[in-house]
Amino acid sequence: MIQIKEVQTKQDLKDFVKFPFKLYKDNPYWVPSIIKEEIRSFNKKNDIFKSVSVQLLLAYKNNKIVGRVACSINWSEVNDLHKPKVRFGWLDMIDDLEVTKALLNAVTNFGKKHNMQYMEGPMGFSNMDKAGMLTEGFDYIATMIGLYNLPYYPEHMIKLGLKPEAEWVEYKIDIDSFQEDKINHISNIVAQRYGVKNLNFKTIKELMPYVDEMFALLNKTYADLQSFVPIEPFQVEHYKKKYLSFIHPDFISCVMDKHNKMIAFAITMPSFSRAFQKANGKLFPFGFWHILQAMKKNNHVEYYLIGVDPEYRNKGVTALIFKEIYNCFKKHNITFIETNPMLEENTKIQQLWKNLSPEIHKRRKTFRLDF
């Protein structure tokens, strides 16, 4: 018999966070989180929970943990976008359909309790969290902010009557596909025509005054997507703390207009996936060392965020971004780039890569069930 229990104690929360470490032990493609950071992210004192209701659940079979799931309701999404949806995320389970069914039934009950009409997942508390169940690309290592799951996960969703909802693609790009002369030529023309220029940073301290402007631009960039939930100021503070320590200023490119207003930016990062695998959930005593090594010596970079002011779409301003990041990649001996998940419906962003011979190597989906 399968029992579903709510996470209530500190030990329960540790069990919730550590369950995937047992499930994916020795799996070469799964990338573990940092345990203390993951536990801290569920602290109800975090400002993220000002607009989100959450319930964490564990599944037991024969007194052994066999699955987990987080139920959440983003009230900004419900009230502002009029989507009566309960999200499910942090879904992991053994290959037992009855376990998955019990976990999703608990999500349904949580949703009905709050008068929601359907559930969708996997997804986090906001659109800045990991989302989408892997449906293709199971033999590629996960990115730092990408979910990994085994092939039976989406099979369980279909068998239990859930329907695919949103779909993401991820690209792998060889740096040799960058046409340096063409990019330089276009960037020079665009700079002269529109009076725009690159802005580079030597330190994270120099970057900090511009971070809020980046997130504001991100909201403008994706505002026309039907699934986008605006990023709120307190969420920006959360992601500053969570990710800025991993970002090297060389890997950030910004474009400013003649009034010194940001109109485009891109944030890339050396891949930390192998380093996080070696750290195995702990920064001490050697986890930090593996991360520092990944910063210094790496041939693989991940595209984390990119934003373009709608007024400057299709005007070539991304050529200025590509020029700077290409020079950065050559400097740091980067040979290939991996994008993070991009919604398949977001053709405007996907068009940015069309001249770089992109290869789709992963696909992922969220799944929906109406009550």
Which superfamily, per CATH, for 172-363? Gcn5-related N-acetyltransferase (GNAT) (3.40.630.30)
> Superfamily assignment of 2-168 in CATH?
Gcn5-related N-acetyltransferase (GNAT) (3.40.630.30)
- State yes or no: pLDDT of 238 exceeds 90: no
Supply the pLDDT for residue 204. Answer: 84
More confident site: 27 or 246: 27
174 dihedral zone (left: phi>0; alpha: psi -120 to 50; beta): beta
Task: Give me the DSSP letters along 299-337.
Answer: SEEEEEEEEE-GGGTTTTTHHHHHHHHHHHHHHTT--EE
Token pair of 112, please?
């009905």
What pLDDT does 356 receive?
80
Q: Would the pLDDT of 60 be above 90?
A: yes
Q: How many CB atoms lie within 10 A of CB 297?
A: 10
Which of the four pLDDT bands, split at 50, 70 and 90, describes residue 227?
low
C-alpha torsion sign, points 219, 149, 38, 60? positive
Q: Which pLDDT band, with edges at 50, 70 and 90, does 350 fall under?
A: confident
Of 325 and 13, the one with more pLDDT? 13
Tokens for 141?
């290592």
Asked if 363 and 136 count as a contact pair (C-beta separation under 8 A), the reply is yes
- Kindly report the average pLDDT of the chain as a whole number: 91
* pLDDT confidence bin for 351, thresholds 50/70/90: confident
pLDDT band at residue 122 under the 50/70/90 scheme: very high
CB 154 within 8 A of CB 364: no
**76-85, 232-241, 348-357, range with greatest mean pLDDT:** 76-85
The span from the CA of 74 to the CA of 62, in Å, is 34
- What percent of the chain clears pLDDT 70, i.e. is strictly above it? 98
Do 287 and 220 form a contact (C-beta atoms < 8 A)? Answer: no
pLDDT value, residue 248: 83
At residue 347, the pLDDT reads 79
Is the Cβ–Cβ distance between 52 and 72 less than 8 Å? yes
- The single residue listed with the structure tokens 């520092």 is 292
Give the model's pLDDT for residue 245.
Answer: 66
At residue 349, does pLDDT exceed 80?
A: no
Range 201-218 average pLDDT: 89
First to last CA, the chain: 24
Per the model's pLDDT, the better-predicted residue between 235 and 371 turns out to be 371
Is residue 225 scored above 80 in pLDDT? no
H/E element, 165: strand 163-174
Over residues 188-215, mean pLDDT: 90
Write the DSSP symbol of residue 46.
S
- What distance in Å separates the CA atoms of residue 160 and residue 134, rounded to the nearest whole number? 17
Pairwise pLDDT comparison (76 vs 145), residue with the higher score: 76
Cβ atoms of 100 and 156 closer than 8 Å? yes
- Angstrom distance (rounded) from CA 277 to CA 148: 13
CA distances from 25 to 18, 20, 278, 319 (A): 11, 8, 12, 42
pLDDT above 90: percentage of residues in the chain: 60
**How big is the chain, counted in residues?**
371
> Please, where in the chain does CATH 3.40.630.30 lie?
2-168, 172-363
207 pLDDT above the threshold of 80: yes
